Amino acid sequence: MMMRTIAMIGILLFFATSAFGQSPPNLLNDFDAVLPQVAKGVRGGTEVETTILLVNPNSTSVSLELTSSSESLLAATTIAMASMERRELKLSEGELVSGWVRVRASETISVSAVIVTSETQGGQESVSQATVLAEPLASSVVIPVFYRSQTIQNTGIAVFFRELGMFRFKLFDASGALVAEANRLRRSDGESPDHLALFVNELFQYEPPENFVGWIQLSAYDQQARGFAAMALYTTGHRIVTAQSTKIDAEAAYILALKGEGLLEDLRTQYGFDVYSQVSAPNSWTIKASDEVARALERDPRVEKVEPSLVPPPLSL
């Protein structure tokens, strides 16, 4: 049973690496989260169905948009949800395909997904179910890793890369020692995917020892704020258990463009970022801010745009 379960999640992870969908534009919404791993369809004796659960807990109606790594997984969908409404979207049938689903909404909502995988082999059917919680976009995260332990056989990693650039994965053991590194590049030419899903030993081309316990740190190679969403999938006997990543709110350099003059000091006081230097564009500065502050600035009506700077932030200001 364990080998069949590992094979099933392996199929999902394998197909995820072939998703080359373009990420949607960065709209300024109050809620922006990603299901880093969903799947649907049939291949051989394996059938996968994903049910996306949406709940609007607000006292007012909410407008939301769902996009995905490919239209074969989920075509772009716009939904209006009434107050306290609950809705299910089922993804099934067709060729087996997996990837990410991104949800943006005018207010904070609840988003999760249930992936059910069934496999028929030798006349016997085995079924596995995994629940995926929506991940907020981050620029640096930590993910616990277990390998060939008594309770967890392997750890899978699923990532949606919103930004272009090089991303670095670092694997640490329980003592804090760095034991392996891997880099993944996302380009705009369609030759590198915006979705990655691999087992830890596949990602690093490294075979951890038995009973390995550690963690992965994922961030941009150049330490800039490049958004992504990541999660872990653990194989435990015949079960697949998922876990959210832990966000590290690291500071980075951004270009802040404002819609008018005389706005900088008020924003600086409100959000607590540091100003590095003024740039040539009108009403634009290089600032040093946390990822959370940068995303809050994106939603501020006084801000034209916020984007990662190619110049690293100063060590001190």
Domain ranges in the chain? 2-247, 251-308
The answer to whether residues 213 and 174 touch, using CB atoms and an 8 Å cutoff, is yes
What is the C-alpha separation between 105 and 65, in angstroms, rounded?
Answer: 6
Q: What is the DSSP string of 191-256?
A: SS-SEEEEEHHHHHT--PPTTEEEEEEEEETTS----EEEEEEEEETTEEEEEEPEE---EEEEEE
Whether pTM > 0.95 for this model: the answer is: no
What is the C-alpha separation between 71 and 252, in angstroms, rounded?
Answer: 34
Other CB atoms within 10 Å distance of the CB of residue 45? 11
The answer to whether residues 283 and 302 touch, using CB atoms and an 8 Å cutoff, is no
In the chain, how many H helices and how many E strands? 4, 22
The answer to whether residues 105 and 38 touch, using CB atoms and an 8 Å cutoff, is no
Residues in the chain: 317
CATH for 251-308?
3.30.70.80
Tens place of pLDDT for every residue, the chain, 317 residues?
Answer: 333 444 445 545 544 443 333 333 333 346 889 999 999 999 988 899 999 999 999 999 999 999 999 889 999 999 999 999 999 999 998 999 999 999 999 889 999 999 999 888 777 778 888 999 999 888 889 999 999 998 899 999 999 998 888 999 999 999 999 999 999 998 877 667 899 999 999 999 899 999 999 999 998 887 666 789 999 999 887 688 999 998 887 678 899 999 999 999 989 888 888 898 888 889 999 998 887 788 889 888 899 999 888 765 555 44
What is the C-alpha separation between 309 and 279, in angstroms, rounded?
Answer: 11
